[in-house]
Structure 1
Amino acid sequence: MNDFCHRGELIPDKIDIMCSICSEVWYNFINIEKLRETINTHTKIVGRVKKLESIPDASKRTNGKVTIVYLDENDSKKTVSVQLAKDDYNKAIEAHESGSHVEVIGEIEDNGKRKKLMTAESFSIID
C-alpha cells in the first residue's frame, strides 16, 4: 500500500484507505457540481417587490437588493433577487409602498438552486 496521502504526509495503511475513500467522495462531489452548471437567460420579468435590503441610512445608500415575486411561463410563482443602483432601488421602494408591478430586463442566473439571481439592465415601475 501507498504510505502517502494526497497531501504528501506519511501515514499508516488504515488512514491511507480512509484517504482514498475521501478522495473518491470528493471526486463524486465535483462531478455533481459539474452537473449543476449555471445557465444565464436574458429575459424580462414582471412582478411585485417582496423584499428590500440595503443599509438603513438612506444618505449613505449607493445600492440595494430587492426580491421580486413573478409568475413564470407555467404560471408558477417564482422569486428572483436583483441588485439595483441607488435610483432604481428608490423606484423599488416606491413600487413596494404602492403595491405596483415592476418590470426588470436582464440576465437571470440559474445555477440549479432554488434562489435565482438577476443582473438588471433596466428596472421600471409599470403600474
Structure 2
Amino acid sequence: MTLSVVQIDRETDQLIGEWLPLSEVATRLGISIGRAKQLLRDRKLIGVRREGGEPQVPAVFIRNGDILKGLPGTLTVLADAGYDEVESLRWLFTADDSLPGAPVDAIRAGRHTEVKRRAQALAF
C-alpha cells in the first residue's frame, strides 16, 4: 500500500489550527519516520500536504507521546463511511451542537465511543 497524502483546501486547513510535520510526529511518538509513514498508510493518523514539503498532521492528534485515544478507530469508521482524508478532517473539526463542540474535542475529552457511534451513523 502506498502512502497517500492529499492537498488540503484552505477552509479545512483553517479549521485545524496547529499542525505538526511528520518528522515532529515521529519524534513526539518516539518512532522512526518510516513507522510514522506507516501510521498514515494504515490510517491511524491523517497527514496532508500544506505549503509543500512533508506531510503534516493536526497537532491535537498527538497527546502525551501517543496518538489520541479513540482516534484510529474513528478514522477507520469514517473511511468505511466513504470519507476521504480531507472530509474526515472537516468532520472531526467542525462544531456539532449535539456534542457540544467538534468531534475531535469530544475524543480529547474521552468520549471517543460516542463520536465513533456518530461516525458510524454517517454510513447509513
- Normalised by the length of structure 2, the TM-score is 0.23
The structure with the greater share of residues assigned to helix is 2
Which has more radius of gyration? 1
